[in-house]
Structure 1
């Protein structure tokens, strides 16, 4: 891997660039909170060669949403479930929109 390849990864939302300590500091939360959402399977951080958790920007956005819900009084397990359902809804809406575009682009047999 060249230095250029390393810098290209910095733009990758899925690249696990952040340590647990750094991720917690960026989110203004605790490492315990990050472990909790990991145990709830909301995010699954990758592990470094030394076994340390590493988080991506995408995972930090999810963790930030979880923290927002918990700060509003939602229990952490419920917050994780809400986020999972929101993600599933967004994916279903995306797929539905793709089907609609494909249907509009395909001429009907009756036409």
Structure 2
């Protein structure tokens, strides 16, 4: 599967539980929407993913990518109810970085 560079880097950072590398995939003003909450800005995103990594130990295995809609479907496994689950990662990009990410079930 041919993924955009930032999505590939995001998946790699997630699977290595590297919160700093994960956050570096985003613009300074990026937003992440997950579990009913919005996380704004690179620092807040790094804090959110660091906490999530410690709590859930979630890994991502890409299973499909819709290039037109910028939606990654990934088998996500970890310490959370319903694991593993196919989650959808809805991306918007700005200057080759992630501007917006919405994670849905």
Both structures adopt the same fold (TM-score exceeding 0.5): no
What TM-score, normalized to structure 1? 0.25
Write 1 or 2 for the structure with the bigger share of strand: 2
What TM-score, normalized to structure 2? 0.25
